[in-house]
Amino acid sequence: MALWPQIKECLSDANTLYFSHGFSIVYHDQTAIIPPENIDVVLVAPKGSGRTVRTNFLDGSGINSSFAIHQDYTGNAREKTLALGIAIGSGYLFPTTFANEVHSDLTGERGVLLGCLAGVMEAQYDLLRKNGHSPSEAFNETVEELTQSLIRLVAENGMDWMFACCSTTAQRGALDWAPRFKEAVTPVFDDLYKKVVGGEETKRVLDTNSAPDYRQKLDKELETMRDSEMWQTGATVRSLRPENRRK
């Protein structure tokens, strides 16, 4: 946002302005980023972190991405966008809009992908510890089994296949409790999505990240998470994985 005036000065007729996220364009009333009309404005949004995009690119596997055209001045914006997607290693490109991309992405980050995941893990870990389970047992049953086994089965063939690969006790429990968890969190997700679409979440991001002490506060928040019993236990558990013990 701070660099937009300099970037805008460099744009010439028929140039292409490429985004990897819809934030700046969709919330232009907050970012003040409004591109000139004589350029193409496109988006390719990899469905993963920047670190994963780079790792997969170097590995030769790539990562799937969404793409969108906000402004097609030249008439060739779609072709250029697909070429950009292929260039960064996208194995599959699916169409979206700038608005849909940012609304789904901000919801996902705050929800299942990061915020909800971290919160649910902490809740279960705390419950097990409160009821006398050791740190190791609580972490293994909350995080390690998920990341090292179950989520890999989901990635291979889907949730139903993962359920089919579990024990009968796990299957029955999961099928019975999944609707209760869905019912419990649906109001939270409804509130989250409204705040994303309404711009409250982006305002918080911009206000917080623009503060002069942002980095210090962020480091403190991450330090609190890193130094918690749960994630200190996680560091120990990871060090005991067979592949790490061989190093």
User: pTM to 2 decimals?
Assistant: 0.90
Contact 96, 67 (CB under 8 A): yes
| 193: its two tokens | 């999505």
For residues 179 and 82, give the distance between their C-alpha atoms in angstroms, rounded to a whole number.
Answer: 39
Taking residues 200-220, report their average pLDDT.
Answer: 95
Return phi, psi of residue 227, to 5°.
-90, 0
Q: How many Cα atoms occupy the beta-carbon half-sphere of 227 within 13 Å?
A: 6
pLDDT in tens, 124-177: 999 999 999 999 999 999 999 999 999 999 999 999 999 999 999 999 999 999
Q: Is the dihedral of CA 8, 13, 15, 18 positive or negative?
A: positive
Q: What is the DSSP letter of 146?
A: I
For residues 106 and 165, give the distance between their C-alpha atoms in angstroms, rounded to a whole number. Answer: 32
User: Which residues are part of the catalytic machinery?
Assistant: 21
Cα(198)–Cα(99) distance, integer angstroms: 12
pLDDT tens sequence across 69-101:
999 999 999 999 999 999 988 889 999 999 999
